Amino acid sequence: MAKIKSLNEMGAAPKTPQVQIKASDLEDIACENCEGKVFKEVMMVKRLSALISPTGKEQVIPVPVLRCDDCGHINKQFLPKEIG
């Protein structure tokens, strides 16, 4: 009788153990301007030149960032690295 191989013997990745994280273990991030702790996702819009675009055409690309819901400030850590 043939031996049936396990998933790991067939090359499947082993399961990663689930880590339980409690909200009390997380550190709050506050607005650099007003110390607010509620943020809303908004979009910056960037233009990609046709000269470097993979399609050869100018493109408009949305970039998600987080903005303070109280004062509208965008923390430096939430800006794309090239801007921040």
6: exposed, middle or buried (C-beta count within 10 Å: 0-12, 13-18, 19+)?
exposed
- Overall pTM > 0.75: no
Residue whose tokens read 């709050």: 28
Tokens of 62: 């949305």
The more confident residue out of 64 and 2 is: 64
pLDDT of 11-57, one tens digit each? 666 778 888 899 899 999 999 999 999 999 999 999 999 999 999 99
Query: Buried (b) or exposed (e) across 38-55, using 16+ Cβ within 10 A?
Result: ebeeeeeeeeeeeeeeee
Query: What is the per-residue pLDDT for 17?
Result: 83
**What's the rounded Cα separation, in Å, for the pair 81 and 63?**
12
User: Given a cut of 90, is residue 59 above it in pLDDT?
Assistant: yes
Band (75; pLDDT cuts 50, 70, 90): very high
